[in-house]
Structure 1
Amino acid sequence: MNRLDLLGSIVHYIGVLGSIYRYMIIAYILLSWLPNARDSVVGEWLAKLVEPYLAPFRKIIPPIGGMLDLSPIVALIALQFVIQGIIGVIVYIAELFM
């Protein structure tokens, strides 16, 4: 396996992990629409993985009208920027050494 294949694999896996985490956040948001769904095993598991990431956004962005929480949307957008930034840095560093 040459360096370019390795770089492609790393970038691919970072993208896949980012997509999985995005879907976890979306599933966690959807669970809030169902009564007692967050109290299930899956809901608690997702809460342990997603809430540490969402908590800072919830501190900054208050709910609108006391009910509508837009912080997960901002968190998803920020996550996309972070993933693209990490991929960009990896590609830049790889280009320095090629």
Structure 2
Amino acid sequence: MSLVYIIHTLFAAYTVLLFVRIVSSWFPAWQAHNLVRFVSFYTDPYLNLFRRLLPPLGGVLDISPILAFFVLRLMEMILLSIFS
């Protein structure tokens, strides 16, 4: 198993976790579920970095995950180019 494959797999898995976190935030009843709490524990610190930079528009529309996905993808591309 190559290092490039491992890096790509880890970033893909974290991307899925971010997606699950974002979708689960639309359903308040899901917040008490153990899976959502697990995902939140690992994704909220990363998302909070961007929430500080981009507060919700109009107080309700949180666009910080867009920037979070972009930065995550950028970090993956940089690491893959270094280790390829």
TM-score by length of 2: 0.93
Query: Corresponding residue for 2:78?
Result: 85
Aligned positions of 1:12-23 closer than 5 A = 12-23=5-16
Structure 2 residues not aligned, in runs of 5+: none
Tell me the SS of whatever aligns to 1:69.
coil
- The runs of at least 4 aligned residues of structure 1 exceeding 2 Å deviation read none
Tell me the SS of whatever aligns to 2:28.
coil
Task: Give the CA deviation at 1:35.
Answer: 2.3
Q: Deviations over 1:37-66 (max 9, x none)?
A: 122101110111001111110000010111
Q: Which one has the largest radius of gyration?
A: 1
Query: Corresponding residue for 1:95?
Result: none
Query: Corresponding residue for 1:63?
Result: 56
Structure with bigger RCO (C-alpha 8 Å, 6+ apart): 2
TM-score by length of 1: 0.81
Q: Percent identity?
A: 30
What is the CA–CA distance in structure 2 between the aligned matches of 1:49 and 1:35, rounded to whole Å? Answer: 18
Structure 1 residues not aligned, in runs of 5+: 1-5, 92-98
